[in-house]
Amino acid sequence: MMKTSAEVNLLLLLLVFTLHVKGMRYSPPGKPALTRCRSPEKETFTCWWESGSDGGLPTTHALFYRKENSEAVYECPDYRTAGENSCFFNKNNTSIWVSYNITVVASNALGSTFSDPVDIDVVYIVKPNHPEMVTVTVLEDKGWPFLRVSWEPPHKADTRSGWITLIYELRVKLEEENDWEMHLAGQQKMFNIFSLRSGGTYLVQVRCKPDHGFWSEWSSTSYIKVPDYIQREKPMWVLITCFCAFIFLILTWLLHMNGHSLKDFILPPVPGPKIRGFDKQLLKNGKSDEIFSSLVVSGFPPTTSPNCEDLLVEYLEVYVPEEQELMEESKDLHDICLKSEGCTSDSDSGRGSCDSHTLLMDKFREAKEEKRQRDQEKSRTGTEDQRQQKDWEEEGLTYAYEDMVSPNISSGRVKTWPSLFSPLPQYSSSRHNQKSSLEKAKKHCFSDSLFPPGSTSFSLDQGGQTTMEAIRSSNREFSLRIKQPHLLHSHTQARCQLQAHSEVNISSIGCKQALGGLRSPAPHSAEYVEVQRVNEENTVLLQPVESGHGHIDGCSQLPLGKDYSRVQGVDRYNRLLLKGEVPQEGDCLYDYQDMTGDRTENCYTSSSVPSIQKPTACIHTVIMGHDEMVLAENGYIDTLTARTLPNY
Amino acid sequence: MSANIRKVWVEVVCVLLCSSLSGVCSAPLCMNGQNGCHILSLSDLFDRVIQHSARMHGISNDLHSEFEQYFLPSKNQIGRVSRNCHTSTILTPNGKENAQRMARQELTEVILKLLLAWRDPLWHFHQSMAHHPDFNKFSSNKALEMSDMAHELRKGVEKVAEKMQMLGIISNSVSSLASPEAPLPANGHKWRLMKDYDLLYCFRRDSNKVQNYLKILKCRIVPEHGC
């Protein structure tokens, strides 16, 4: 017997030695360890362990447990149900609210190793299974979809009897995302998820936990696809609408900014009336007097001649026709004269002879209307001589007209014009009875434009008047024409028209006194001569018109300066050429008497043409007679149609 | 003479008043069917009690965890296994079948017994926690709260028992435990030997038992909600 045991021992030692000699190390198994113990429903539980090194030898494991307050050691009843290295405790072996002391033993040929014991209480190791029957459905709430997730507790967990109370948790995420959205559901078994993405696919999972325990695993993933509740076309239309609204807002803002300029572009404002120099405030004030006064421009009508040169009349043509011609053409002349008396307007605009003549006439008429009437009366009563004398005494020109010339001038006065502007040959009209020996004379008439009407001292009251005797029986008529190259408007109408009777009967009138005065030469600045009348001898009685002040009393003044009282000749155009000469001593005046009378010529000058020397009488310009022939106060001379005077 | 008669007469009046008042005070204020008084249903009572017990268990669990951090139990496994709670004498079902097999009345009595058994130990535990230098104030407050909740829970369970008795669910034998002067079990003073840590361990288990038993009762009696 002892031999067998000794042999066994020797054999064992030999085996160990052999194994050792072979180089293999054998050792008892390593220490196993309980990893975990779990109970799914608080009725059973399972423990798992892991083994240590096996030591090169086949090892076995065993689980032993002890219950609380009991010394009995029990071994695991079930090693298989739960798999490898596990121990399953069924319901009969499970006690709740009892502490278990579990130990695993690993043993091999060389030994066994105990693991560390673990105390567990089943209540605290409950880890249920995941919820079951997870269903996800899409429901609608007022047109908006939502997910409804419902599940069931794990079938093993008895929640109906209240043995286990589970709380649930679910998680949701979109298919293409990575983050889960957690939701704690409590003890309820249903949950709603809102704010879904249209057309998206969602993943849902649920898990549970007992009030004191471990979370279960996540349930299997449930896929759900949300239908397209937002149409795909809508975002595009919404985008287009927003874009158009944005552009519309910008346009409105631009229009608001540039509204005024745009409005002016489309609807240009109507220009208001503008009168230069006119203050609109006057209209607003409403006072008509101020308005009208402001409308009156002081510069209109122009009363001053801006340029004297423009108004220059080159020459005055005095045509003294021959006796025959006068007789023949008397009527024609008359017609022409009448015509000329009419409105013969020249080419100058607005400056027709009529206009200014009219103005002048009007102005002068007012002043001399009375005088004319008086003269007419006087002429009717007395002889022409007497009348002439009176006229001479009076202011203004005296005219001798034949009745046939114009009815207005029935007194026989010859209508003369103040020759202030026209150097007319001066005639000693008084006391000259002219035969029909009128010479062609040319005289130059200067228009009154040389002398501004206002400034000129030209007045019909000037002295040095050569009055013409009334034509007694002369039927001659002649007309003087003053050629005026320029005529200003309302100006400078120097119309010398002298209507002579066929019987030129020029008699000197009333200048005897003046003749006396002529002897004493006085400085005379007479640049113009007025034709008073033509006597029968075709002599033109001219009378210089003094530029200065003329007065009846001062009639004795001799005209100063050059006097164009001499007719130099008549050119081929039937123009009377006047010759201006300084009055000298010794100049005599011709007394032109009637044609019937002898003509005494005294002091015949160099001119072959009997010069007509104007008497030194003051010029009195009287405008009377025909309306058209009325001169203005300042002595405008109207144009006359002249006939060529026969050369002498 | 008149003063004595006056004194006697005042005392008689006072006694009468006190008796009448005591009679009024002892009577319940809210009777069934009385107007203006909201009567809780049994289901609501159960829910309240269950919530209460759940909270109590939570506090005990927290305290136990704190204890494990500060005071690791000794590796003496034997000592831990031999730990014996003073309420182990109370027969409590250890499984679902056992708990479902137990009658409602017994179950209710078990609950009440448990709660009653822990009335004094919790109070003392709180006292020892308050004076222990290792514990902070929060732990002491939790111990106090735990003690109060145990007390309140017991009162609530008693109310539920009365309700059930009133509804005829259980018999009237439970009322015997309602008296505050119920005699403690024989090992009632065993708890004085327990350490604080073991005491917490035991109470955590018992609070869980109470909660679970109440849930079982509820789902058995009034299974409308949450079962």
The reported pLDDT for the residue numbered A263 is 80
Q: In chain A, whose CA is at the least distance from the CA of B221?
A: A161
Question: How many domains does the structure of chain A reveal?
Answer: 2
Of A24-38, A307-321, A482-496, B96-110, which range is least confident? A482-496
The reported pLDDT for the residue numbered B212 is 93
Closest alpha carbon to A61 in A93, A102, A29: A29
CA distance B70 to B134: 8
Helix or strand (DSSP H, E) at A191: strand A190-193
Residue-averaged pLDDT of chain B: 79
Q: Name every chain A residue with its beta carbon within 8 A of the beta carbon of B217.
A: 162
A28 neighbors A16 (Cβ within 8 angstroms):
no
Residue B14 lies in a domain: no
CA distance A515 to A518: 5
Phi and psi at A142, nearest 5°, equal: 60, 45
**Is the pLDDT at B136 greater than 60, yes or no?**
yes
Question: How many domains does the structure of chain B reveal?
Answer: 1
The partner residue sitting opposite B226, judged by closest CB among A43, A158, A187, is A187
Q: The tokens of A296 are what?
A: 């009156």
Reported as a single tens digit per residue, the pLDDT across A379-397 is 555 444 554 444 444 444 4
The reported pLDDT for the residue numbered A227 is 87
Same domain membership, residue A224 and residue A173: yes
Residue A553 CB neighbours (<10 A): 10
The partner residue sitting opposite A99, judged by closest CB among B81, B99, B217, is B81
**Domain span holding position A51:** 33-121
The predicted model gives A596-625 an average pLDDT of 42
Of A197-211, A311-325, B2-16, which range is least confident? A311-325
Interface size, chain A vs chain B, as Cβ–Cβ contacts under 8 Å: 69
**Is the pLDDT at B140 greater than 80, yes or no?**
yes
The reported pLDDT for the residue numbered A268 is 83
pLDDT band for position A560 (50/70/90)? Answer: very low
Tell me which of A229, A258, A283 is where a domain ends: A229
Residue B50 lies in a domain: no
Residues in chain A: 648
Closest alpha carbon to A480 in A387, A414, A546: A414
Task: Give, in order, the Cα–Cα distances in Å from A17 to each of A4, A8, A9, A290.
Answer: 19, 14, 12, 152
Region of A309 please: left (phi>0), alpha (psi -120 to 50) or beta.
Answer: alpha
Closest alpha carbon to A545 in A527, A567, A519: A527
The reported pLDDT for the residue numbered A486 is 43
The reported pLDDT for the residue numbered A552 is 41
A522 neighbors A558 (Cβ within 8 angstroms):
yes
Of A127-136, A208-217, A546-555, which range is least confident? A546-555
CA distance A615 to A588: 8
- Judged by CB atoms closer than 8 Å, whether chains meet at B100 and A161 is answered as yes
Which DSSP string corresponds to chain B?
-HHHHHHHHHHHHHHHHHHHHHHHHHS-S--TT-TT-PPPPHHHHHHHHHHHHHHHHHHHHHHHHHHHHHSPPPS-HHHHHT---TTTTS----SHHHHHHS-HHHHHHHHHHHHHHTHHHHHHHHHHHHH-TTS-HHHHHHHHHHHHHHHHHHHHHHHHHHHHHHHTSS-GGGGGGGSTTPPPPGGGGGGGGS-HHHHHHHHHHHHHHHHHHHHHHHHHH--SS--
Residue B169 lies in a domain: yes
Closest alpha carbon to A635 in A379, A449, A381: A449
Strand ranges (DSSP E) for A295-373? 317-318
Selected residue with higher pLDDT from A49 and B18? A49
Reported as a single tens digit per residue, the pLDDT across A102-150 is 999 988 888 888 888 888 999 999 999 999 999 999 998 888 889 999 9
The reported pLDDT for the residue numbered A447 is 40
Residue B180 CB neighbours (<10 A): 7
Q: CA angle at residue B150 from B149 to B153, to 5 degrees?
A: 80
CA distance A52 to A31: 5
The predicted model gives A506-512 an average pLDDT of 41
Residue A266 lies in a domain: no
Closest alpha carbon to A320 in A570, A615, A507, A608: A570
ipTM of the complex: 0.78
The predicted model gives A193-220 an average pLDDT of 92
For the domain that residue B94 is a member of, what is the CATH number? 1.20.1250.10
CA distance A429 to A470: 10
Q: Three-state DSSP class for A553?
A: helix
CA distance A511 to A524: 17
Cα-Cα-Cα-Cα dihedral sign, residues A414, A419, A424, A427: positive
Residue B31 CB neighbours (<10 A): 9
B125 neighbors B135 (Cβ within 8 angstroms):
no
What is the DSSP pairing of strand A99-107 with strand A112-114?
antiparallel
Q: Name every chain A residue with its beta carbon within 8 A of the beta carbon of B83.
A: 68, 99
**Is the pLDDT at A55 greater than 80, yes or no?**
no
**Domain span holding position B144:** 58-221
Percent of chain A exceeding pLDDT 90 equals 20
The reported pLDDT for the residue numbered A237 is 86
**Is the pLDDT at A290 greater than 60, yes or no?**
yes
Residue A129 CB neighbours (<10 A): 17
Tell me which of A89, A121, A153 is where a domain ends: A121
The reported pLDDT for the residue numbered A437 is 41
Of A40-44, A280-284, B124-128, which range is least confident? A280-284
Same domain membership, residue A203 and residue A139: yes
Selected residue with higher pLDDT from A1 and A271? A271
What is the DSSP pairing of strand A33-38 with strand A73-75?
unpaired
Kindly compute the dihedral angle of the four CA atoms of residues B16, B19, B22, B23, in this order, to the nearest 10 degrees.
-110
Q: Which residue is listed with tokens 């019987």?
A: A503
Which DSSP string corresponds to A512-537?
HHHHHHHHS-------EEEEEEE-BT
Same domain membership, residue A200 and residue A138: yes
Q: Which residue is listed with tokens 């008047």?
A: A465
Q: Radius of gyration over alpha carbons of chain B, in Å?
A: 22
Start-to-end Cα distance in chain B? 74
- Judged by CB atoms closer than 8 Å, whether chains meet at A97 and B216 is answered as no
- Judged by CB atoms closer than 8 Å, whether chains meet at B227 and A160 is answered as yes
The partner residue sitting opposite A101, judged by closest CB among B77, B99, B212, is B77
pLDDT band for position A151 (50/70/90)? Answer: very high
Residue A203 CB neighbours (<10 A): 16
Q: Three-state DSSP class for A331?
A: helix
Residue A159 lies in a domain: yes
Q: The tokens of A42 are what?
A: 């608080």
pLDDT band for position A541 (50/70/90)? Answer: low
Q: In chain B, whose CA is at the least distance from the CA of A103?
A: B77
The reported pLDDT for the residue numbered A391 is 47
Residue B120 lies in a domain: yes
**Is the pLDDT at A97 greater than 70, yes or no?**
yes
A533 neighbors A544 (Cβ within 8 angstroms):
no
Q: The tokens of A530 are what?
A: 């007025």
Q: How many CA atoms lie within 13 A of A406 on its CB side?
A: 28
The reported pLDDT for the residue numbered A218 is 94
- Judged by CB atoms closer than 8 Å, whether chains meet at A160 and B209 is answered as no
Residue A123 CB neighbours (<10 A): 19
Residue B116 lies in a domain: yes
CA distance A481 to A443: 9
**Is the pLDDT at A621 greater than 60, yes or no?**
no
The reported pLDDT for the residue numbered A88 is 93
Residue-averaged pLDDT of chain A: 65
Q: Name every chain A residue with its beta carbon within 8 A of the beta carbon of B80.
A: 99, 101, 119
Q: The tokens of B88 are what?
A: 């182990």
Task: Give, in order, the Cα–Cα distances in Å from A284 to each of A269, A290, A291, B185, B205.
Answer: 21, 11, 10, 122, 109
Residue B27 lies in a domain: no
Q: Is B155 on the interface with A (CB under 8 A)?
A: no
For the domain that residue A74 is a member of, what is the CATH number? 2.60.40.10
Q: Three-state DSSP class for A246?
A: helix
Task: Give, in order, the Cα–Cα distances in Å from A553 to each of A386, A513, A557, A620, B117.
Answer: 18, 11, 9, 11, 169
Residue A533 lies in a domain: no
The predicted model gives B204-214 an average pLDDT of 93
Q: Which residue is listed with tokens 């209508």?
A: A415
The reported pLDDT for the residue numbered A337 is 44
Which residues are registered as beta bridge partners of A107?
A: A60, A112
A30 neighbors A108 (Cβ within 8 angstroms):
no
Q: Give the gap in angstroms from C-alpha B123 to the nearest C-alpha of chain A.
A: 24
Closest alpha carbon to A624 in A532, A488, A501: A532
Tell me which of A121, A152, A179 is where a domain ends: A121
Q: Is B90 on the interface with A (CB under 8 A)?
A: no
- Judged by CB atoms closer than 8 Å, whether chains meet at B95 and A162 is answered as no
The partner residue sitting opposite A95, judged by closest CB among B57, B77, B95, is B95
The reported pLDDT for the residue numbered A264 is 81
Residues near A639 by Cβ (< 8 Å), separated by ≥ 6?
Answer: A340, A344, A353, A481, A482, A483, A484, A493, A494, A495, A496, A497
Residue B39 lies in a domain: no
Same domain membership, residue A59 and residue A113: yes
Residue B193 lies in a domain: yes
Closest alpha carbon to A514 in A588, A451, A464: A464
Selected residue with higher pLDDT from B147 and A435? B147
- Judged by CB atoms closer than 8 Å, whether chains meet at A117 and B96 is answered as no
Q: In chain B, whose CA is at the least distance from the CA of A153?
A: B227
Please state the separation of Cα A475 from the chain's center in Å. 74
Phi and psi at A310, nearest 5°, equal: -70, -30
Task: Give, in order, the Cα–Cα distances in Å from A363 to each of A175, A421, A632, B218.
Answer: 116, 18, 6, 139
The partner residue sitting opposite A101, judged by closest CB among B81, B88, B205, is B81
Q: How does DSSP classify residue A382?
A: S
The reported pLDDT for the residue numbered B61 is 92
CA distance B218 to A213: 22
Judge residue A497's burial from the number of C-beta atoms within 10 Å of its C-beta, 0-12 exposed, 13-18 middle, 19 or more buried.
buried
The reported pLDDT for the residue numbered A245 is 95
The partner residue sitting opposite B94, judged by closest CB among A98, A117, A162, is A98
Residue A646 lies in a domain: no
Q: In chain A, whose CA is at the least distance from the CA of B51?
A: A211
pLDDT band for position B5 (50/70/90)? Answer: confident
Reported as a single tens digit per residue, the pLDDT across A165-202 is 999 999 999 999 999 999 999 899 999 999 888 888 99
Same domain membership, residue A138 and residue A214: yes
pLDDT band for position A612 (50/70/90)? Answer: very low
Reported as a single tens digit per residue, the pLDDT across A342-380 is 444 444 444 444 455 555 555 556 556 666 666 665 555
**Is the pLDDT at A216 greater than 90, yes or no?**
yes
Region of B67 please: left (phi>0), alpha (psi -120 to 50) or beta.
Answer: alpha
Of A130-139, A618-627, B61-70, the range with the highest mean pLDDT is A130-139
Q: What residues in chain A have their Cβ under 8 A from chain B's Cβ atoms?
A: 42-43, 66, 68-69, 91, 94-99, 101, 117, 119, 121, 123, 158-163, 165, 187, 211-212
